[in-house]
């Protein structure tokens, strides 16, 4: 694998996580952002990830049950090993570059991981501008949650070097990376991306053909939409829906807690892809209206401090929906 210089396009929840994890595993990482304002909004996410990684490692000193395979796959770490990994996280934090210039960010990239908004028009426009600045060597992957690479490949200037690499949220715990090509993807490039996923501590999940929603979201999205439908139709409140799922299955999080982690803007963009969402009397239409109202109020999820739940220090985890 020849990838050394990694550029993550977009500094949202997952974009920042992908960048930090890649830097933590020793890669030269840049995050491209649209503006200086976007840079200012991204910096606290990178600071928060440093605190998360170092906090988890510190807790490992006294709790050997903690498992974060993205941070360390070793089951038992000595104090010296923990100190070394904390230093690695600190170095990663200091090494990540935040850049708003296309030319400066992309002109020597080996691998670009696109993590811009889950909106086909925004991705198409981004690819069109990106093509003016990428060298021929660069491999381009999308972290899209739902869009097929074959639909977006025509908007790149390198369809044979284009495929999907989809990460789960909280990458340090849920260390999966779904690798999905399209019919025009070069098999050698596909394998390079598989090897990169391994190199940053992920478990590569290799799809043999295109599937909307890949593996994880083929399971997750219908589940989350079913929960949102129950709330949007007035059947029950988020807190009781979450309790039903957690008690009934033993899962650590309910669907609305997951939605807060994912971010309501992503959930909203996914829901808009459903043609039924245009009908305000349909369940899909009611879900879109519900999410739009929350987004307009600034209640976009855990990263914003409030979504279906409040995450301030005094009311952490309290339902506000």
- pLDDT for the residue 44: 97
The pair of structure tokens assigned to 279 is 């009908």
- pLDDT for the residue 321: 62
Last residue of a domain, one of 180, 206, 232: 206
Last residue of a domain, one of 143, 175, 206: 206
78 within some domain: yes
Q: Indicate whether 59 and 181 sit together in one domain.
A: yes
* pTM flag (> 0.75): yes
Q: Indicate whether 254 and 174 sit together in one domain.
A: no
Q: Indicate whether 163 and 124 sit together in one domain.
A: yes
177 has which bridge partners?
Answer: 167, 204
Q: What is the CA radius of gyration of the chain?
A: 20
Q: Indicate whether 115 and 157 sit together in one domain.
A: yes
Per-chain mean pLDDT for the chain: 95
Q: Indicate whether 13 and 129 sit together in one domain.
A: yes
213 within some domain: no
Residue where the block lists tokens 């999410």: 291
Cα dist. 86→43, 49, 83, 306 in Å? 19, 12, 5, 29
The pair of structure tokens assigned to 35 is 């503006």
Mean pLDDT calculated for residue range 80-84:
97
Range of the domain at 141: 5-206
Mean pLDDT calculated for residue range 89-109:
98
Render pLDDT for 248-300 as a digit per residue (tens, 0 to 9).
Answer: 999 999 999 999 998 999 899 989 989 999 999 999 999 999 999 999 999 99
133 within some domain: yes
pLDDT over 70 (residue 1): no
What is the rounded CA–CA span in Å between residue 10 and residue 30? 10
Mean pLDDT calculated for residue range 209-226:
92
- Written as one string, the DSSP assignment of 98-134 is EE--HHHHHTT-SEEEE---S-HHHHHHHHHHHTTT-
27 within some domain: yes
**Domain with 265 in it: what CATH number?**
1.10.1040.10
The pair of structure tokens assigned to 57 is 């490692």
Q: Indicate whether 47 and 125 sit together in one domain.
A: yes
The total number of structural domains that make up the chain: 2
Render pLDDT for 223-262 as a digit per residue (tens, 0 to 9).
Answer: 999 999 999 999 999 999 999 999 999 999 999 999 999 8
Contacts with 91 (C-beta within 8 Å, 6 or more apart), sequence order: 23
What is the rounded CA–CA span in Å between residue 211 and residue 198? 22
Q: Indicate the burial class of 285 (C-beta count within 10 angstroms; 0-12, 13-18, 19 or more).
A: middle
212 within some domain: no
pLDDT over 50 (residue 68): yes
174 within some domain: yes
pLDDT over 50 (residue 313): yes
Last residue of a domain, one of 206, 239, 263: 206
Mean pLDDT calculated for residue range 39-64:
96
- pLDDT for the residue 146: 81
211 within some domain: no
Q: Indicate whether 10 and 43 sit together in one domain.
A: yes
Q: Indicate whether 192 and 271 sit together in one domain.
A: no
Q: Indicate whether 118 and 62 sit together in one domain.
A: yes
What is the rounded CA–CA span in Å between residue 109 and residue 121? 24
**Domain with 155 in it: what CATH number?**
3.40.50.720
What is the rounded CA–CA span in Å between residue 89 and residue 52? 10
pLDDT over 50 (residue 316): no
126 within some domain: yes
């Amino acid at each position: 694998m020849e990838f050394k210089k990694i550029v993550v396009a977009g500094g949202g929840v997952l974009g920042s996580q992908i960048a930090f994890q890649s830097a933590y595993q020793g890669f030269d990482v840049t995050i491209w952002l649209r503006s200086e304002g976007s840079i200012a909004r991204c910096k606290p996410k990178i600071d928060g990830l440093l605190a998360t990684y170092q906090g988890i490692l510190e807790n490992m000193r006294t709790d050997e049950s903690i498992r974060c395979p993205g941070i360390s796959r070793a089951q038992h770490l000595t104090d010296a090993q923990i100190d070394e990994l904390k230093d690695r996280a600190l170095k990663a934090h200091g090494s990540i570059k935040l850049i708003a210039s296309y030319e400066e960010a992309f002109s020597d990239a080996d691998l670009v991981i696109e993590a811009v908004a889950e909106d086909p028009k925004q991705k198409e426009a981004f690819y069109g501008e990106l093509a003016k600045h990428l060298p021929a060597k660069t491999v381009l992957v999308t972290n899209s949650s739902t869009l097929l690479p074959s639909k977006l490949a025509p908007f790149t200037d390198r369809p044979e070097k284009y495929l999907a690499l989809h990460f789960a949220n909280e990458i340090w715990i849920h260390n999966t990376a779904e690798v999905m090509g399209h019919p025009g993807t070069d098999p050698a490039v596909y394998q390079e991306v598989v090897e990169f996923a391994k190199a940053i501590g992920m478990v590569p999940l290799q799809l043999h053909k295109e599937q909307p929603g890949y593996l994880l979201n083929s399971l997750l999205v219908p589940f989350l939409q079913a929960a949102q439908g129950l709330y949007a139709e007035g059947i029950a409140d988020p807190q009781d829906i979450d309790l039903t799922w957690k008690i009934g299955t033993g899962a650590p999080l309910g669907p609305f807690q997951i939605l807060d982690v994912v971010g309501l803007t992503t959930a909203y963009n996914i829901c808009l892809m459903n043609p039924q969402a245009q009908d305000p009397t349909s369940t899909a239409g009611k879900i879109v209206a519900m999410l739009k109202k929350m987004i307009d109020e600034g209640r976009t999820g855990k990263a914003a401090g409030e979504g279906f739940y409040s995450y301030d220090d005094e009311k952490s985890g309290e339902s506000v929906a």
